[in-house]
Amino acid sequence: MPLIPLKIPAGFHRTGTDLDAAGRWRDGSLVRWRDGSLRPIGGWRVNENIASITTNAPRGMHTWESNNGTRYVAAGSYNELFAVVSGGTAYDIAPTDLTAGSESASVNIGYGYGFYGVGAYGTPRPDTGNLSPATTWSLDNWGEYLLACSTADGRILEWQLGTSSKAAVVANAPTNNLGIIVTEERFVFALGAGGNPRKVAFSDREDNTTWTPASTNEAGDIELQTSGQIETAIRTRGQTLILTDVDAHTARYIGPPYVYSFQRVGTSCGIISRRAAADVDMGVFWMGNGGFFRFDGNVVSEIPCAVHDYVFGDLNTSQKSKTWAFTNGQFGEIWWFYCSGSSTEIDRYVAFDYKENHWLIGSLSRTSGASRGVFEYPMLMGQDGAMFDHEVGLSYVDTQTYTVTVASVGGGNRFILDGSNYPAITLKRGYTYVFDQSDGSNSGHPLAFRNASDASYTSGVTTTGTAGSSGAKTTFVVPSDAPASLKYYCTVHGNGMGNNITVIDADGVFAESGPFSMGSGDKIMQVTDLIPDEKTQGDVNIKFKSRFYPNATESTHGPFTPANPTAVRFSGRQIRMRIEGDTPYAAWRVGTMRIDAKAGGRR
């Protein structure tokens, strides 16, 4: 029988049913295509100089260079603002009176909510239709200085690079703002200025302390004619694009007396969050509440999305304010990170390859980042504040640190992990976890692990120092064969100080196709051999899944290690192929696989 090539177009197709994705890639993570071949994305590593800035989830990040070439990173969380010099020293630059916000979106509550007479008198009721978004930061550079504005604090702050000084409030600037941006013409825009969510106020040119309009300056303001509220703004193609939650406007510099011309350029294209837009040579791309959009410098258009159902059908809209975007220009991609439907923190990404016009999906938790440019690699930050260099090497393993303290809870001493009282935790096989016991409260309470039978579990465990002393920690590199259930406990006081550990497989590097069938799918396909097409044979494992009807239970065959040929024997009316990266740190490439198959009967 002639061989059947499984030639699958690049990109994922995740809209409609499984059968709608016939002959396409339907699921995967941490992969991309270049010139038609499937390969893993670049890996990541903890930044050598900036391992961590904060223990909170950053919701805004910016990189820039000073006039003398010194490189800086700034990042803000719901209650912090830090700046880091390229050598690795982090400085807390938040003013002492910074208004703290919310790490996550929360439901507004108010006195008298609901029907009269329902519930206890004076008790606040949750407003399930009105969310207070997670606190985010607008960060930009004003020359070599940093400008910053938190949605919770609302003031425009300026840091003039002094390592012993805090960011100061910009004199005369509006307060109670939603964000800021520095335009290409060197004006500062205050977005949602003065508490008016439709208002844009702008400073005088080259003077961020002059905001009152006069015949001797170019300061001014305007209230946009929009039914929504301003979310963000971004520089693009000689103008500034202002995005609300319902439409899009541009600001073009025209000089005195009007200074700027504002024009609505798109409707029904509101952005999903304040950080969900990115600019590249082809224009501005952003994620909306039900689709993706592009502004090419003239008009707004919706981008057809082959993974629309996957993204918007399983998105936690309550936490949409955490969604953010960054450009991966080396590969012509724009990435959006978001919370899936069952998660309150970012756990997924969707990416658009605007050069080759296809979509990528996957699982990864990153809460802020900056594109390659000022630094050699894209720099992304995790939920715990860890800083990673991306697109470097082929390692896909995070290191997570738990800060351990001991306190009396419920009448006995308990381990407190990152402020939570002896929580049950989930660990991933292959990942590294550091339990930092350097706090003095750990003295006399060494942390260790047991299996479900209470036998000591030491595989992958390294203890450094003595609990309660400086530098004390327990490092756990979770083995690939670790049992599904473990415990953490105190070797002196037993299980009562700790709790259960659930061990799961890490999200791997893989791609899985939609179904293939012969003809109209009425005949059974009998597959006997696979002819692989890969750069280095043996760097991937291959599985096949078969079923006889679209909604029948699938059978899995394999994994198979590719050879020339690879013997496989299975049958079904529909088959799917799954490719998994088998060898860590291997730059595998997969082209067009072929199968030796013949048609069987109809039953």
Write out pLDDT tens, residues 38-93.
999 999 888 878 867 787 899 999 999 999 999 999 999 999 999 999 877 889 99
List 338's β-bridge partners, or say none.
348
Q: How many percent of the chain have pLDDT more than 90?
A: 76
Which pLDDT band, with edges at 50, 70 and 90, does 507 fall under?
low
Tokens describing residue 546:
């078969």
Tokens describing residue 193:
């200025």
Write the Ramachandran bin of 492: left for phi over 0, alpha for psi from -120 to 50, otherwise beta. Answer: alpha
Rounded to an integer, the average pLDDT of 389-413 is: 88
| Distance in angstroms (rounded) separating the CA atoms of residues 32 and 546 | 25
Domain 399-504: CATH architecture, name and number where available? Sandwich (2.60)
| Distance in angstroms (rounded) separating the CA atoms of residues 60 and 324 | 9
Nearest Cα to Cα of residue 316 among 345, 287, 294: 345
For 322-376, how does the pLDDT look when each residue is reduced to its tens digit (9 = 90+)?
A: 999 999 999 999 999 999 998 999 999 999 999 999 999 999 999 999 999 999 9
CATH 2.130.10.10-classified regions of the chain: 61-97+128-390
pLDDT of 455: 96
Answer whether 572's CB lies under 8 Å from 555's CB: yes
DSSP state of 43: -
pLDDT of 313: 96
| Distance in angstroms (rounded) separating the CA atoms of residues 265 and 251 | 10
Which pLDDT band, with edges at 50, 70 and 90, does 446 fall under?
very high
DSSP state of 437: -
pLDDT of 115: 46
Q: Is the pLDDT reported for residue 192 higher than 90?
A: yes
| Distance in angstroms (rounded) separating the CA atoms of residues 75 and 94 | 11
* CATH topology classification for 3-10+508-599: Jelly Rolls (2.60.120)
| Distance in angstroms (rounded) separating the CA atoms of residues 352 and 339 | 18
Q: Is the dihedral of CA 192, 196, 199, 202 positive or negative?
A: negative
CATH 2.60.120-classified regions of the chain: 3-10+508-599
Which pLDDT band, with edges at 50, 70 and 90, does 420 fall under?
confident
Tokens describing residue 360:
């990528």
Which pLDDT band, with edges at 50, 70 and 90, does 395 fall under?
confident
Q: What single string gives the DSSP state of each residue in 145-168?
A: EEEEEETTT---EEE-S-TTS--E
CA atoms within 13 A on the CB side of 354: 22
Query: By three-state DSSP, how is residue 382 classified?
Result: coil
The average confidence (pLDDT) of the chain is 91
CA distances from 102 to 85, 91, 107 (A): 27, 22, 11
pLDDT of 113: 44
Q: For the chain, give percent helix, strand, coil, nearest 5.
A: 5, 45, 50
pLDDT of 114: 47
Query: How many CB atoms neighbour CB 402 within 10 A?
Result: 22
> Rounded to 5 degrees, what are φ and ψ at 320?
-65, -20
| Distance in angstroms (rounded) separating the CA atoms of residues 521 and 22 | 11
CATH 2.60.40.420-classified regions of the chain: 399-504
Residues sharing a CB contact under 8 Å with residue 123, sequence separation 6 or more, in sequence order: none
Query: By three-state DSSP, how is residue 319 classified?
Result: helix
Rounded to an integer, the average pLDDT of 308-319 is: 96
| Distance in angstroms (rounded) separating the CA atoms of residues 278 and 276 | 7
Q: What single string gives the DSSP state of each residue in 207-242?
A: BTT--S--TTS--EEEE---SS-EEEEEEETTEEEE
Q: Is the pLDDT reported for residue 119 higher than 70?
A: no
Answer whether 395's CB lies under 8 Å from 584's CB: yes
- Its CATH class, for the domain covering 61-97+128-390, is mainly beta
User: Which position has the higher pLDDT, 462 or 536?
Assistant: 462
User: Which position has the higher pLDDT, 119 or 13?
Assistant: 13
For 553-563, how does the pLDDT look when each residue is reduced to its tens digit (9 = 90+)?
A: 999 998 998 88
Residues sharing a CB contact under 8 Å with residue 162, sequence separation 6 or more, in sequence order: none
Q: How many residues does the chain have?
A: 603
Q: Is the pLDDT reported for residue 525 higher than 80?
A: yes
Secondary structure of 253-303 as H, E, C letters: EEECCCEEEEEEEEECCCECCCECEEEECCEEEEEECCCEEEECCCCEEEE
| Distance in angstroms (rounded) separating the CA atoms of residues 589 and 37 | 6
CA distances from 175 to 115, 160, 223, 466, 470 (A): 36, 20, 16, 50, 43
| Distance in angstroms (rounded) separating the CA atoms of residues 554 and 413 | 49
Which pLDDT band, with edges at 50, 70 and 90, does 584 fall under?
low
